[in-house]
């Protein structure tokens, strides 16, 4: 037993020496060489037959690292505005110069026809007596926006009949794109229909005027209220006022009424008096006393004043047959007109009322003369507002 153990002791070193030689031989045959862990591996060379065995997929190739793409350039911020030294700054004042647009009609007195073809040099505009430089003149023919303000009171059947005839005559001249409202007044105003271009609605409103209510005719209150409502609508507006012109019980006075007309812009009033034939017959028979006669004369003057101040026309027909010609003239005045534009020489925003006068002149500045085909002189009328109110500084 001791002999066997001794043999094993001597065999173990021999076996270890043999294993060491075998591993060394295998390392040499396989072409591997041990390198120090501190040393970097040698660069790889192209493989050849003498370089020893290769891997199944060939020599290991290390790909070059892709060059990193440059980041996109940062957006360039706009340069900051340069701030000048306020001590050296030159300040400028911007002033809004007002512009006046003036609607002007030129109508022959005999035929009531509109006169076309006038140029800027044919118009002379005086504002408070100072000539103004007209910058442009153009013709305008547009749909109308109108209020039919009708006196409907229990005062006389003949007055109501004249009002109905005149209102239906104007109704027949309406076009599909016209907007019309119907308002009546006696002791107070009554809106029968608001602005509409439906002729059937307007016709139904006029047909409903059969039995009047009160006998009072508060014209000033009704016209003031109508002007206040139409002033909220943009563009040119028209009021067709049909009535006697008498005011019996209004809260407002005539002076306040005239001040309201002056302050309302872009509104033209056309007036048609009623009861002219009845008044004429009554006066001829002596049935109209001096007080009543004076009352109606004042009413006629009020209607003319309302129309003149706004550049409109005033009529007082005695017979129904005159109505078609009257409304033909009104249509020519409404749908065909000159629009004059000028910058007033008085640029103050003081809220004052500026009086305007428009004349026609020839190339030499003399009053313009018109002739017919037989070289006979023709009389004409220039219709325009008599003024406007300037803005205040706070507006």
Taking each helix axis as running N to C, give the angle between helix 276-284 and helix 157-171, from 0 to 180 degrees, rounded to the nearest 10: 150
Beta bridge partners of 272: 242, 315
pLDDT reported for residue 270: 95
Token readout for 52 is 């020893």
Which helix H or strand E contains 171, and what residues bound it? helix 157-171
pLDDT reported for residue 97: 59
For β-strands 123-127 and 353-360, DSSP reports them as antiparallel
Site of tokens 């190739």? 61
Indicate the range of 65-74, 158-167, 308-317 predicted with least confidence. 65-74
Task: Report the distance separating Cα 231 and Cα 223, nearest Å.
Answer: 12
pLDDT reported for residue 351: 87
Mean pLDDT, the chain, rounded, equals: 80
Q: Tell me which residue of 383, 273, 379 sits closest to 322, measured CA to CA.
A: 273
Query: First CA to last CA across the chain, in angstroms?
Result: 133
Share of the chain above pLDDT 70, in %: 75
pTM of the model: 0.63
Beta bridge partners of 264: none
pLDDT reported for residue 11: 47
Local confidence band at 4 (pLDDT 50, 70, 90 cut-offs): very low
Domain ranges of the chain: 95-141+337-395, 142-335
Contacts of 231 (CB under 8 A, 6+ apart): 264, 265, 267
pLDDT reported for residue 302: 95
pLDDT in tens, 191-246: 999 999 999 999 999 999 988 888 889 999 999 999 999 988 888 899 999 999 99
pLDDT in tens, 41-72: 444 544 444 444 444 444 544 455 455 555 56
- On the 0-12 / 13-18 / 19+ scale of CB atoms within 10 A, 171 is middle
Q: Do 181 and 148 form a contact (C-beta atoms < 8 A)?
A: yes
Task: Report the distance separating Cα 199 and Cα 144, nearest Å.
Answer: 14
Local confidence band at 286 (pLDDT 50, 70, 90 cut-offs): confident
pLDDT reported for residue 88: 45
Task: Report the distance separating Cα 239 and Cα 12, nearest Å.
Answer: 136
In the predicted structure, residue 37 carries a pLDDT above the cut 70 = no
CATH annotation of 142-335 = 3.40.50.410
């Amino acid at each position: 037993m001791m002999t066997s153990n001794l043999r094993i002791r001597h065999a173990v070193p021999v076996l270890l020496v043999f294993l060491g030689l075998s591993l060394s031989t295998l390392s040499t045959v396989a072409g591997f060489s041990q390198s120090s862990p501190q040393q970097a591996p040698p660069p790889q060379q192209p493989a050849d037959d003498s370089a020893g065995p290769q891997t199944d997929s060939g020599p290991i190739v290390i790909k070059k690292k892709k060059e990193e793409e440059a980041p996109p350039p940062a957006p360039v911020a706009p340069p900051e505005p340069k701030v000048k030294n306020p001590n050296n700054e030159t300040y400028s004042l911007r002033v809004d110069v007002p512009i006046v647009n003036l609607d002007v009609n030129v109508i022959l007195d005999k035929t009531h026809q509109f006169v076309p073809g006038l140029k800027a040099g044919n118009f002379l505009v005086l504002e408070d007596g100072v000539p103004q430089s007209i910058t442009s003149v153009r013709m305008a023919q547009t749909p109308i926006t109108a209020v039919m303000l009708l006196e409907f009171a229990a005062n006389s059947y003949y007055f109501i009949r004249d009002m109905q005839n005149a209102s239906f005559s104007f109704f027949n001249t309406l076009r599909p794109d016209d907007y019309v409202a119907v308002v009546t007044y006696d002791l107070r105003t009554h809106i029968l229909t608001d602005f509409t271009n439906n002729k059937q609605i307007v016709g139904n409103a006029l047909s409903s005027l059969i039995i009047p209510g009160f006998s009072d005719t508060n014209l000033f209150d009704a016209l003031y209220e109508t002007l206040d409502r139409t002033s909220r609508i943009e563009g040119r507006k028209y009021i067709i006022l049909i009535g006697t012109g008498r005011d019996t019980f209004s809260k407002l006075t005539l002076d306040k009424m005239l001040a309201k007309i002056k302050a309302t812009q872009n509104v033209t009033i056309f007036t048609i008096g009623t009861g002219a034939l009845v008044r004429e017959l009554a006066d001829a028979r002596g049935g109209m006393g001096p007080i009543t006669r004076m009352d109606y004369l004042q009413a006629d003057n009020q209607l003319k004043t309302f129309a003149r101040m706004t550049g409109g026309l005033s009529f007082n027909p005695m017979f129904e047959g005159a109505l078609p010609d009257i409304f033909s003239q009104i249509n020519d005045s409404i749908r065909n007109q000159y629009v004059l534009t000028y910058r007033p020489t008085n640029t103050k925003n003081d809220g004052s009322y500026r009086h305007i006068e428009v004349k026609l002149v020839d190339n030499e500045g003399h009053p313009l003369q018109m002739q017919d085909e037989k070289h006979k002189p023709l009389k004409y009328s220039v219709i325009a507002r008599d003024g406007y109110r300037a803005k205040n500084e706070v507006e």
